[in-house]
Structure 1
């Protein structure tokens, strides 16, 4: 069992603690942030849950980098944007359109904007499955039209 846990810890995205609330994000979408290492400014274009913490997608001039809350300083200043608000937020319950109706609900675990479209990070495979080499790929970024909101 310990080997299975170690294998899961090597995966990029891991589920939030089961049975607990997802911790709040430290940076708002479109918030201007300062990157300590490169001493430059960017803005948050998304975030996702990774290895027990939020990872933020920071848009620079022609690049997007990943950073944790310890690698950035928030400014509280929001950047103007022309992209509409995301249809889903972190924690929303959704189902994948392409899966049969018996498929279980999923949580939105991250959002990211790319090319003026929103993408949502959802779990593709259950974390309860026996670990294999494919377990690390159990998450998927999907577009809005690939999801259906579950009303609780």
Structure 2
């Protein structure tokens, strides 16, 4: 467990070319948190970098909610889990397996565990493209099998 957290901590200060530094997360994976809007406890099952801030995925028994740091209070207590370490961490450079030749590298911008399986948030459409009037999402949650690590 500690190895997993230490491995994740190494990537907090990466700077994607279109943003500044990414600040550290407020809570750790599997940390028990108090979710203030519903006045209940849950645990952090993932997080992702979105619109200049961390969005936390909190497992509340029956559902997983997305929230920001102002709505959670970390307890410092880690929940037991049997999920293996994630293959990628925030900031890892990857490519999608099924992309056409010449496709650019992507950064892992978030991770989430669902039913004991890791999913990784990658940006598949550049923020540098001309803005569209459609509400087209630039991000995608993908499985480990859909990614290939890029060595730099």
User: RMSD in angstroms over aligned alpha carbons?
Assistant: 1.7
The 8 Å contact of residues 22 and 91 in structure 1, kept in 2 or not, is answered as no
Which string of whole-angstrom CA distances, capped at 9 and with x for unpartnered residues, describes residues 128-147 of structure 1? 11112456311100000000
Give 1:21 shift.
2.8
Instruction: Tell whether the 8 Å contact from 1:124 to 1:138 is kept in structure 2 after alignment.
Output: yes
Q: Secondary structure at the match of 1:119?
A: strand
Change beyond 3 A, Cα 1:78–1:17: farther
Q: Which runs of 5+ in 1 are unaligned?
A: 1-14
How many Å separate the matches in 2 of 1:19 and 1:35? 28
Aligned residue in 2 for 1:120: 120
Q: Relative contact order: is structure 1 or structure 2 higher (C-alpha 8 Å, sep ≥ 6)?
A: 1
TM-score scaled by length of structure 1: 0.84
| Structure 2 alignment gaps of length 5 or more | 1-14
The 5 A counterparts of 1:41-120 are 41-120=41-120
Determine the C-alpha separation between the residues in 2 that align with 1:134 and 1:81.
Answer: 40
What TM-score, normalized to structure 2? 0.84
Give a deviation string over 1:64-114, Cα, whole Å, max 9, x none.
111111101001111001111111111111011111331111000010111
